Amino acid sequence: MEKLYFIPGSQDLYGAECLAQVAADCAEMTAFLNEKLEGTIRIELLPTVETSEICVEDMKKVMCDDDCVGVITWMHTFSPAKMWIKGLQMLNKPLLHLHTQANEKLPYDTIDMDFMNLNQAAHGDREYSFILARLGIAHEVVAGYYKHDDFIAGVKRFAQVAKAIGLSKRTRVATFGNNMRDVAVTDGNRLECEIRYGWEIKYWGIGEIAKLADEATEAEVDAKMAEYTEKYTMATDNIEAVREQARYEIALEKFIAKNKVTAFTDNFQDLFGMKQLPGIAAQNLMAKGVGFGPEGDYKISAFSSVLMKMAEGREGATGFIEDYTYDLTPGAELELASHMLEVPASFAATKPEIQVHHLGIGGKADPARLVFDGVTGDGIQVTLVDMGDHFRIICADIELVKQPLPMPNLPVARIMYRHKPNFKIGTAAWCYAGGAHHSVVSTALTRDDIAMFARLTGTELITIGDDTTEADLQKFFMR
């Protein structure tokens, strides 16, 4: 499991007794937080920073440990911040600064100068915060008493975002084929993606998958079919079309393992050697946390895998989706979001059916796909676009709803949602912000998670929700 290192701060002027108390209090805090965050992250305490040399040694440990996704700091006492400069300059993992105390209440009857010197985070954390600001280091602050629920929730959110950033740095997108011809928003600066987020965008031909699919044995296909029929309802007589998809998933799984890939893209315009466009193969892989972007959309492929990681361990569904069509009934406007095939199985509210239907584009055989109605509940829709000189994340609050009526002739899975604060402002804001038609929808994540990711990665963020007004639209327009 991933871990965070906890580096407390003090100085060597206070004497051994004080430093021993600092270490003991920090050990108690570490044990408490480990109990509360069990299953999410593990926290390990490092030696208290009393000198610049100790800080450097601690940060070396942070930087050299592949399991470590971030660092927590807290100034139990005053800790002159010049001691932190060289250590902090080495750090390139997410940083959480705790602004807390070992004690909840002031001991009014007994407080003396010794107590004040030992418990002066109000003083020491400000000295430390200045150097973080002065060095321009992106970080989060969680303030309050460390045993309070809202404080623990803040640390947990940081842990989940730090784990997602950890995955981001290990993200490798296999692009099978290039971006769909002439499409703008799915393209952008791949080099900048790698520099800012760590995403390696690597090209391979789809023939690699076609070849591996041809090589899949009957036994492997039987095993994959057993997985499908256990999870899904077979609603087609065209079993061979489903077995073909099983071969694609087997091929993709082998390719992913061999090349240490975490996400992939394909493109219906480049299916050389393939009989079908991957449908159920992509849908089933997405439900296992593999990032996917259709039409060569490497950004949404990588971003979806990062956000699925962020949502790990939470209730709700997270995955790729595409904006498709609207119900514009006044006051009851709804969006129907879907894709030509590849809606992640994690969005299913009903047991998915395996169906085979004609696909009008691509010129290939009828592909097998999962068809289902979507999950409901409060959620977010979030995308990432390349503005030329920077990346922009757009995050809209939405409410996923049950589809009002059956759609018996729609051969694809779908979700439906209501925009906030209403259709007119919510969708116009998305348009003004340059939001893509590919996005990630999540009922597990919130705007606060995305905002933390944006801050820690230095990405512009535009949010849309109940606090968005007509006046805000003018701001977008004036950009």
Name the minimum Å distance from CB 372 to Mn ion: 19
Query: Residue 88 corresponds to which tokens in the numbers above?
Result: 């902090």
Q: Are strands 95-99 and 140-143 parallel, antiparallel or unpaired?
A: parallel
Shorter beta-carbon distance to Mn ion: residue 12 or 187: 187
Task: State how far the Cα of 278 lies from the Cα of 294, in Å rounded to an integer.
Answer: 10
Residue nearest to Mn ion (CB): 322
Shorter beta-carbon distance to Mn ion: residue 186 or 443: 186
Task: State how far the Cα of 427 lies from the Cα of 449, in Å rounded to an integer.
Answer: 22
The region of 54-62, 268-276, 290-298, 471-479 touching Mn ion under the rule CB under 5 A is: 290-298
Look at residue 135 and give its three-state secondary structure: helix
Q: Which amino acid is at 138?
A: A
Shorter beta-carbon distance to Mn ion: residue 295 or 366: 295
Other CB atoms within 10 Å distance of the CB of residue 331: 6
Look at residue 316 and give its three-state secondary structure: coil
Name the minimum Å distance from CB 174 to Mn ion: 18
The region of 23-31, 221-229, 317-325, 446-454 touching Mn ion under the rule CB under 5 A is: 317-325
Name the minimum Å distance from CB 286 to Mn ion: 14
Name the minimum Å distance from CB 324 to Mn ion: 9
Query: In degrees rounded to 5, what are phi and psi of residue 127?
Result: -60, -45
Name the minimum Å distance from CB 440 to Mn ion: 13
Q: Are strands 353-356 and 233-234 parallel, antiparallel or unpaired?
A: parallel
Name the minimum Å distance from CB 119 to Mn ion: 56
Shorter beta-carbon distance to Mn ion: residue 244 or 323: 323
The total number of residues written for the chain in this structure: 479
Name the minimum Å distance from CB 277 to Mn ion: 12
The region of 70-78, 243-251, 303-311, 322-330 touching Mn ion under the rule CB under 5 A is: 322-330
Name the minimum Å distance from CB 148 to Mn ion: 44
**Site map 359..398 versus Mn ion, x via CB under 5 A:** ----------------------------------------
Shorter beta-carbon distance to Mn ion: residue 266 or 295: 295
The region of 156-164, 256-264, 318-326, 422-430 touching Mn ion under the rule CB under 5 A is: 318-326
**Site map 64..83 versus Mn ion, x via CB under 5 A:** --------------------
> Which residue from 25, 253, 266, 322 is in contact with Mn ion, where contact means CB under 5 A?
322
Name the minimum Å distance from CB 85 to Mn ion: 47
Shorter beta-carbon distance to Mn ion: residue 125 or 323: 323
Q: Which amino acid is at 434?
A: G
Name the minimum Å distance from CB 71 to Mn ion: 39
Neighbouring residues of 68: CB distance < 8 A, sequence distance ≥ 6: 2, 3, 4, 5, 61, 62, 93
The residues with which 74 forms a beta bridge, in sequence order, are 8
Q: Which residue has the tokens 């893509």?
A: 436
Calculate the CA 416 to chain-centre distance.
22
Calculate the CA 58 to chain-centre distance.
28
Q: Which amino acid is at 192?
A: E
Shorter beta-carbon distance to Mn ion: residue 14 or 324: 324
The region of 160-168, 188-196, 315-323, 464-472 touching Mn ion under the rule CB under 5 A is: 315-323
Question: What is the longest distance spanned by two Cα atoms in the chain?
Answer: 82
Q: To which H or E segment does residue 355 belong?
A: strand 353-356
Shorter beta-carbon distance to Mn ion: residue 266 or 322: 322
Q: Which residue has the tokens 């989940």?
A: 160
Q: Is 58 in the site for Mn ion (CB under 5 A)?
A: no
Shorter beta-carbon distance to Mn ion: residue 119 or 186: 186
The region of 33-41, 80-88, 249-257, 292-300 touching Mn ion under the rule CB under 5 A is: 292-300
Task: State how far the Cα of 383 lies from the Cα of 380, in Å rounded to an integer.
Answer: 10
Q: Where are the beta strands (DSSP E) in 200-295?
A: 200-204, 233-234, 263-265, 291-293
Size of the residue set binding Mn ion (CB under 5 A): 3
Spatial contact of 155 and 142, defined as CB atoms under 8 Å apart: yes
Cis omega before residue 408 (within 30°)? no
Shorter beta-carbon distance to Mn ion: residue 45 or 183: 183
Binding site for Mn ion (CB under 5 A): 294-295, 322
